[in-house]
């Protein structure tokens, strides 16, 4: 069985390096007007910063060693894991898109899109390992939580809102 550790390092590390390299080499190739290109770049840089910060915050919540499911003391299902099963991957993938957008690289966007199947393959391999380790608990989690694209739940949005006294 293929272990997800190597695939994860390839997809996150080499994938991001490839996107950065291609985007730098083909910067400023998006076919849009200059003002719109500036707006896209500023938007991309802002979302890039936020997505890297959020991915880093999620990563800091893991134990020092977290290559295998048994390295985790618990199954993460709260916080960002309520919105999707792979929030760290979501934010890294979003950051990869924003690198290309910030540099206004059409080829960078194509490469990012072309690498999406590698993310899906990684998730498939990793989830097999998670099912093998956590069993029914993970299968239940899978039934109620989307894989990669977060689903905003109204209970999370209004969790701390208290009704006004009339």
d(CA 59, CA 53): 10
Burial of 107 (C-beta count, 10 Å sphere; 0-12/13-18/19+):
middle
pTM: 0.86
Coil, helix or strand at residue 47: helix
Tokens of 56: 């880093």
Cβ distance 86 to 148 under 8 Å? yes
Pick among 1.20.120.1630, 3.30.1510.10, 3.30.413.10, 1.10.3720.10: CATH of 4-157: 1.20.120.1630
34 phi/psi in degrees, rounded to 5:
-55, -45
pLDDT tens-digit map of 114-150: 999 999 999 999 999 999 999 999 999 999 999 999 9
Q: Which range among 34-38, 82-86, 89-93, 120-124 shows the weakest confidence by mean pLDDT?
A: 34-38
């Amino acid at each position: 069985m293929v272990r997800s550790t190597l695939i994860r390092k390839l997809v996150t590390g080499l994938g991001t390096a490839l996107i950065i390299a291609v985007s730098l080499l083909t910067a400023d190739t998006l076919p849009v007007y200059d003002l719109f290109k500036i707006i896209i770049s500023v938007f991309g840089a802002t979302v890039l910063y936020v997505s890297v910060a959020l991915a880093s915050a999620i990563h800091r919540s893991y134990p020092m060693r977290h290559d295998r499911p048994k390295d985790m003391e618990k199954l993460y299902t709260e916080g960002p894991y309520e919105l999707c099963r792979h929030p760290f991957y979501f934010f890294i993938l979003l950051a990869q898109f924003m690198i290309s957008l910030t540099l206004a690289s059409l080829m960078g966007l194509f490469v990012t899109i072309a690498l999406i199947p590698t993310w899906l393959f990684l998730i498939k391999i990793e989830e097999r390992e998670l099912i093998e380790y956590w069993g029914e608990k993970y299968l239940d989690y899978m039934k109620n939580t989307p894989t990669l694209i977060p689903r905003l739940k109204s209970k999370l949005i209004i969790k701390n809102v208290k009704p006004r006294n009339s």
